[in-house]
Amino acid sequence: MANLKPTVTQEFKRQQYRPYGDVQEKLSKKTAFIKLPVDVQEELDSWPQEERIVFLRSLITNAVREKVKQAG
C-alpha cells in the first residue's frame, strides 16, 4: 500500500536538489530558458551536464553584472 502522507524532512529537500558547482549565493527559484542557434545548442549538449550548467550560469551572471556596472 502506498504511503499517502510521506514525511519529507528539510535535510532531504536540501539534498534532493543540490546545485552544480560552487554556489556562494542564493539561487532564484525561477529558471531562465532561452533558445539558441542549433550549432551552439548541439555543442552545449555534447558537454557533461554539470560543466554546461556551471559555464552558462557563470557566463550569464558575469554578463548581466558587467552591463549593470556599465549602465551605472
Q: How far apart (Å, rounded) are the C-alpha atoms in residues 5 and 55?
A: 39
* Amino acid 38: pLDDT: 98
User: Structural domain boundaries of the chain?
Assistant: 29-72
Q: Of the ranges 20-24, 29-33, 38-42, which is most confident? A: 38-42
For the cut 90, the answer to whether the pLDDT of residue 42 exceeds it is: yes
Supply the pLDDT for residue 24: 85
**pLDDT bracket for residue 23 (50, 70, 90):** confident
15 pLDDT more than 90: no
Q: How many whole angstroms separate alpha carbon 51 and alpha carbon 48?
A: 5
Cβ-Cβ contacts under 8 Å for 32 (sequence gap 6 or more)? 60
**Is residue 21 within 8 Å of residue 53, measured between CB atoms?**
yes
pTM: 0.72
